[in-house]
């Protein structure tokens, strides 16, 4: 497992550095208001190409289930995006870029990687929080997870991003982007009688904020809201900077199910940091139903001490 971890950390860190370059050079103040997604599209595809290439070189027998594919980039109208990707991968040919992205078109099996090359599109465009999420799954469960969080300060150092990783049964750890000593992380010790810090998505459409608001009201003044984009929320909770993360179903999308690449890495990291991750009914997450969590509805992520209380509140008649 150590070999898998070494390659995974190197791949995610390399992708994070490219994403930082894209963000610094292509994202302008009005990118979001103009709905110009091209900068994050460039970073998204470049990130997947880098990570898939590194993984396949090291572990050619293991499929990669990634979020993206290169079909749209092969169309003439997207040639400009492809050319911009090439600017950040100057030693790569066009075919190498396209083929490396498509290395992520694998299918879930007994052992496979799952990858979200950039989670948090609007956070990226705001130059705020986003994450690169990579997990190795065996027999339907994550056994290794890596989160690259380029804009999440490491131990208060605003100029350093954060890497976080976990191996099943061995704990969760953090280290700064760019290298440094890894330190183990643990979730908070807060219980229902303490201040309860709830993580909320910055984007309101991503979850049922009204239901979360009603649940927070149960804790009165002890409930505090902490807002972050993307799977960065898992990293924040794992290092004890928050206590509860809810991903509750939106009533307007009753058939929606979460994608595995949006949660596999983060879920393992929180669990290995001592937290608990289930669906909203207290059922463990099942990653062996294809590319979505088809057997689960909603997510509840806590420091463990708060979990049963949150489940009870959510499922009151």
What are the catalytic residues?
44, 121
The dihedral through the CA atoms of 37, 124, 230, 70 has a sign that is positive
Is 67 assigned a ligand-binding role in the annotation?
A: yes
136: Cβ contacts below 8 Å, ≥ 6 apart: 4, 8, 62, 111, 112, 113, 142, 143, 144, 145
First-to-last C-alpha distance (Å) of the chain: 45
Q: Coil, strand or helix: which one is 314? A: helix
Is 116 assigned a ligand-binding role in the annotation?
A: yes
Is 221 assigned a ligand-binding role in the annotation?
A: no
Q: Are 314 and 215 in contact (CB under 8 A)?
A: yes
CA distances from 109 to 101, 242, 290 (A): 19, 34, 9
* DSSP one-letter string for 91-106: TS-HHHHHHHHGGGB-
Is 30 assigned a ligand-binding role in the annotation?
A: no
Is 252 assigned a ligand-binding role in the annotation?
A: no
Q: Are 301 and 267 in contact (CB under 8 A)?
A: yes
Instruction: Supply the DSSP symbol for 253.
Output: -
Q: Which residues are annotated as a binding site for Mg(2+)?
A: 67, 116, 118-119, 262
Q: Which residues are annotated as a binding site?
A: 67, 116, 118-119, 262
């Amino acid at each position: 497992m150590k070999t898998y971890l070494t390659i995974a950390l190197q791949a995610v860190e390399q992708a994070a550095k490219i994403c930082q370059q894209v963000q610094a050079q292509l994202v302008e103040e009005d990118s979001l208001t103009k709905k110009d997604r091209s900068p994050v599209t460039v970073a998204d595809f470049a990130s997947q190409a880098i990570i898939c290439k590194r993984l396949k070189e090291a572990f050619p027998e293991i499929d990669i289930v990634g979020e993206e594919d290169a079909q749209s980039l092969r169309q003439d109208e997207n040639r400009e995006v492809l050319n911009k990707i090439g600017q950040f991968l100057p030693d790569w040919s066009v075919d190498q870029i396209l083929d490396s992205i498509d290395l992520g078109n694998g299918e879930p099996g007994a052992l496979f990687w799952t990858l979200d090359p950039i989670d948090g599109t609007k956070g990226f465009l705001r130059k705020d929080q986003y994450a690169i999420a990579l997990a190795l799954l065996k027999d339907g469960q994550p056994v290794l997870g890596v989160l690259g969080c380029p804009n999440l300060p490491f131990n208060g150092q605003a100029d350093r991003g954060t890497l976080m990783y976990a191996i099943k049964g061995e704990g969760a750890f953090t280290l700064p982007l760019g290298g440094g000593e890894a330190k183990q992380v643990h979730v908070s010790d807060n219980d229902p009688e303490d201040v309860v810090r709830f993580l909320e998505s910055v984007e309101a459409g991503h979850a049922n904020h009204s239901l979360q608001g009603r649940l927070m009201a149960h804790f009165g003044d002890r409930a505090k809201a902490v807002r972050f984009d993307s799977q960065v929320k898992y990293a924040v909770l794992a290092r004890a900077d928050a206590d509860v993360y809810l991903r509750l179903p939106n009533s307007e999308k009753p058939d929606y199910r979460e994608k595995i690449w949006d949660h596999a890495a983060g879920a393992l990291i929180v669990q290995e940091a001592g937290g608990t991750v289930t669906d909203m009914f207290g059922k463990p997450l099942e990653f062996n139903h294809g590319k979505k969590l088809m057997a689960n509805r909603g997510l509840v992520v806590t420091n463990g001490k708060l979990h049963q209380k949150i489940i009870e509140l959510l499922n009151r008649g």
